[in-house]
Amino acid sequence: MNKIITGLLAIIILGATSLATGCGNEKSANSSTTASSNTADTKTKETAPAPKDDSIKEGMYKVGTDIQPGEYVVTSDTSGYVEVTKDSTGSLDSIVMNENIQGRVYVTIASGQYFTTKNAKTYPADKAPKVTPTDNKLSSGQYKVGVDIQPGEYKVRSSNGGYVEVSKSSKHGMGDIVSNDNFTGDKYITIAAGQYITIRNGDILLK
C-alpha cells in the first residue's frame, strides 16, 4: 500500500514539474517575441526618412544665374525680409520691391534681377507649404485667390490698425494694386480668381 501511494506521489510531482517547465518556456517565448517586436519598431523609427525640404535658403541670388525666373512664396515666422532689385549697386533707386514679411508673400522675379531674403524660407510657388486655416480664418500674410482661398466676398477684421490689399499680380508694382485700405474693426472685400489678397495685423474670416 505504501509503495502504491509513493508511486502516485512521484507521478503527481513529475506532472507538476513538467507543467511548470512548460509555462516557463511559454513565458520565455512570449518575452522573446515581444523583445523582437520592440527592436523592429525601434529600427523602423530610427530609419524613417526626414521630410524633404524644398526651400531655398536665405541670401542674395541673381535671377537666371543662381535662381530661375518665376513665382515664389517667401515665408517667415519671425521678422523676415524680401527684396527684389534691378542691379547689385545697393542704391535705393535699384529697388523693384521690398517688404517685411508677415507670414507669407508671393513674389515674381525676372531674369537679370536680384532676389534677396533674410530670416525667411523661399519655395517655388508649386512647392510651397499648403495654407492651413486656424479657427476658420487666415491670419496676416498674402494669399493667392483660387489657390489658397476661394473667390468671393469675405469679411476682414482687425482690432488695431489693420491693412488689406487686393492686387492683380505678385510683382508688387504700384500699377498692380486693385484696392487697398487701412482699417480697424470689420470690412468686406470681394476677390476674384487670379488676384492676390494681403492682410496685415488682421484676419480674413472664412465662410
Confidence tier at 16 by pLDDT (50, 70, 90): very low
What does the pLDDT read at residue 39? Answer: 53
What does the pLDDT read at residue 207? Answer: 79
Q: What is the mean pLDDT of residues 142-158?
A: 98
**In the structure grid, which three cell numbers stand for residue 206, read together?**
472664412
Average pLDDT over the chain reads: 86
What does the pLDDT read at residue 60? Answer: 98
The answer, yes or no, to whether residue 41 has pLDDT greater than 70, is no
Closest to 56 measured CA to CA, from 101, 129, 134, 117: 117
> How are beta strands 203-205 and 152-167 bridged, if at all?
antiparallel
135-147 pLDDT, tens digit each: 999 999 999 999 9
The rounded percent of the chain whose pLDDT value lies above 90 is 72
Judge contact between 120 and 58, C-beta under 8 A: yes
Q: What is the mean pLDDT of residues 121-139?
A: 97
Sequence-separated (6 or more) residues with CB below 8 Å from residue 191: 145, 149, 151, 152, 154, 166, 197
Which DSSP category does 51 fall into? P
Q: What is the pTM of this model?
A: 0.76
Q: What is the mean pLDDT of residues 52-79?
A: 95
Secondary structure of residue 78 in the 3-state scheme: strand
Judge contact between 95 and 83, C-beta under 8 A: yes
Secondary structure of residue 202 in the 3-state scheme: coil
Judge contact between 151 and 191, C-beta under 8 A: yes
Judge contact between 199 and 174, C-beta under 8 A: no
85-113 pLDDT, tens digit each: 999 999 999 999 999 999 999 999 999 99
What does the pLDDT read at residue 48? Answer: 63
